[in-house]
Structure 1
Amino acid sequence: MTAVANRGRMPSPRRRGRARASSILLLIAALVASAVVLLPIAVIVFTAFKPVGEVNAYPPTLLPENWTLDNLIAIFRELPFARLILNSFVFAGGVTAFALVFDSLAAYALARLDFRGSRVLLIAIIASLMIPFQATLVPIYQLVSDLGWVNSYAGLIAPRAADAFGIFFLRQFFLSLPRDLDNAARLDGASEWRIFTSVVIPNAKPALLTLAIFTFVNNWNDLLWPLVFTTDAEMGTITSGLTLLTGPGGIIPQGVMMAGSLIAVLPLVIMFLLVQRRFIESVASTGLK
């Protein structure tokens, strides 16, 4: 009887064949999707090491026949690229640091404190997400100009020191944390600041790391914001600096452009690899608490 029952529970050859075919199709789809995603990156990497003749050759080739570092050298010769890299780190890193502080404070107040007007404030924050960024660009620029912050780190960072999406995102995460943690800390005499720093923030590391990644990457890759708020090439970022590349007759040197794009991508790749490991560790440790 046991053998018959086990034989009945075993999948039929037809079902096993369908499962195998589905696995093969999913693998093929994953490979195709990976190729589509990685192809532009491969073009950037290989074009950065091509000489001018191969970059402009027709038909184009993916791999360079004669590898060269001329494009990487030219990007530092034609632009103040080291300064642009520094500006990008200061801009994206500064915005990320301030956003994590202000967004977490505002999110904690909206999620854990009961005060008059909290619901109206939350609705206003959510409604601000529906306003196009371009609609507020001119008044923000006018304010930054009146303060004398054009071509300064303050003008780049201060208007983005808080973000409505970050506040809403962290608020939703804080709501998922058990309120018993807060109540136990209050019974022990802890202040709201102590509860925030010692109870809520340590348990919110996954959300904070996720928000940090999104904020840093979005600001690092942003073109319009530094292009509007900086008119001096020394105060630009990598993305805005690459728009200044022009060759003879106004032709854009594609090899040099790809070299600059490759250098701009490398810090993001390194940061993602480092933060991904810490993110997984933080998720695991938070789940065990």
Structure 2
Amino acid sequence: MSTPIQAGPVQEAYALGAEREQETADTEGSSSDGSGGGRRGRPQRRRPRGAPLSPMQRVGEVARWVLLLVCSALFLYPFAWLLAASLKPRGEVFDNRLIPQTWVPENYVQVFNELPLLNWLGNSILIAVLAAGLVTLSSSLVAFGFAYFRFPGRKVLFGVVLATMMLPGAVTLVPQFLIWNQLGFVGTHVPLWGANLFGSAFYIFLQRQFFLGLPKELFEAARIDGLNAWGQFWRIAFPLSIPSFVIVFLFEFQASWNNLQGALIYLNVGSAEGYTVPLGIASAMTKYDPSTGGHGDYQFVMVAALIVTLPMLILFAFGQRSFIEGLATSGRKG
């Protein structure tokens, strides 16, 4: 007589799962028919209710919301004032009313006749994209080398790179100007983005910390499969480090967009059409200043200042998720 086959753990688990599925189906069927057994079906999950707040906790909650609203109003007031001033006539620009007494929406049309605003926007966008893109690529390559390559003096060299952040920017202004002047690029846009070809110490540090948080096993497996260093960076490190690339790009884009000092040094010798946005608005302030022969048409300056903030708002709106993720994860190591 043959011995019956004993069920193993796999067969027992499969049978138990089948019984549970059958019980679930029976329960759902009994709850869906009209025999009054709907309330005897699967129990409904309810969210646990929190304990009621005490009077002191309610006061604290209200105080917190009031504080947040006040801080938000303080941060939004300059933007609201700028928006209101851009819709006012010449004599009411500085009356501090958030609701204009006289609405002049024609300012948004006349500003393009008064100022070469489109040229300023185009120059600033071109320079900011080149500067941000170049510094992101160059800094990431250097950071990847410091993170995954072992060579003599690596720590000392990385310390020297970080030490350059302690140098004040004013120290290197004259040497940089002399270099660009000898190369014949003063009066062009090249000095405003050319230096970013060599990376930035802060961005190198930021992206190195992000690269150190990636699994080293991926790079070891790729190295065994014959992938070279450039392939490891482009096919592994880059796709996994997009949040760090986004945050570096946004930081540098904003820095280049608001760079008045560099434009004042290298572009002040050219025509107004070659200015960037900060230098153009500064020149418009001088143009409309009554002490220099202007008529005080500062409403056009307000319109220009409001329009040039839109690219930054749009950029941060689309890159907000990666921006926050990059800030949250750039400090990881291992």
Secondary structure of 2:166's match? coil
- Residue 140 of structure 1 contacts residue 159 of structure 1 at CA under 8 Å; is this kept in 2? no
Distance 1:70 1:224 in 2: 32
Query: For residue 291 of structure 2, what is the aligned residue in structure 1?
Result: 249
Deviation at residue 184 of structure 1 after TM alignment: 1.4
Q: Does 1:81 find its partner at 2:117?
A: yes
Identity %: 33
Is the counterpart of residue 229 in structure 1 residue 247 in structure 2?
no
Match for residue 145 of structure 1?
181
Q: Deviations over 1:120-171 (max 9, x none)?
A: 2211111111111111111101111110111222222102332111111101
TM normalised by structure 1 equals 0.87
Amino acid of the residue matched to residue 236 of structure 1? Y
Normalising by the residue count of structure 2, what TM-score does the alignment of the two structures yield?
Answer: 0.76
Q: 5 Å matches for 1:1-289?
A: 16-57=54-95, 60-161=96-197, 162-231=199-268, 232=270, 233-245=272-284, 246-247=287-288, 248-250=290-292, 253-277=297-321
Q: Displacement of 1:175 after TM fit? A: 1.0
SS state of the match for residue 129, structure 1?
helix
2:82–2:302 CA contact under 8 A, matched in 1: yes
CA distance in 1, matches of 2:239, 2:267: 37
Bigger Cα displacement from structure 2, 169-178 vs 72-81: 72-81
Alignment gaps of 5+ in structure 2: 1-49, 328-334
Which structure is richer in relative contact order (CA contacts within 8 A, separation 6 or more)? 1
Give the root-mean-square deviation of aligned CA atoms.
Answer: 2.2
Higher helix share: 1
Q: Give CA deviations for 1:200-228 in whole Å, capped at 9, x if unaligned.
A: 11111111111111111111012111111
Kept in 1, the 8 Å contact 2:120–2:277? The answer is: yes
- Secondary structure of 1:244's match? helix
Return the offset for 1:76: 2.3
d(CA) in 2 for partners of 1:77, 1:116: 61
CA distance in 2, matches of 1:17, 1:188: 65
The verdict on how the C-alpha distance between 1:249 and 1:73 changes in structure 2, with shifts beyond 3 A counting, is farther
Using a 3 Å threshold, how does the CA distance of structure 1 residues 282 and 210 change in structure 2: closer, same or farther?
Answer: closer
Where does structure 1 differ by over 4 angstroms across 4 or more consecutive aligned residues? 277-283
Provide closer, same or farther for how the CA distance between residues 262 and 148 of structure 1 changes in structure 2, counting only shifts above 3 A: same
AA in 1 matched with 2:57: A
The Cα shift of 1:198 comes to 0.8
| Whole-Å separation in 2 of the counterparts to 1:112 and 1:52 | 60
Displacement of 1:22 in angstroms is 2.2
Q: Quick one: distance in 1 between partners of 2:247 and 2:263?
A: 24
Higher-Rg structure is 2
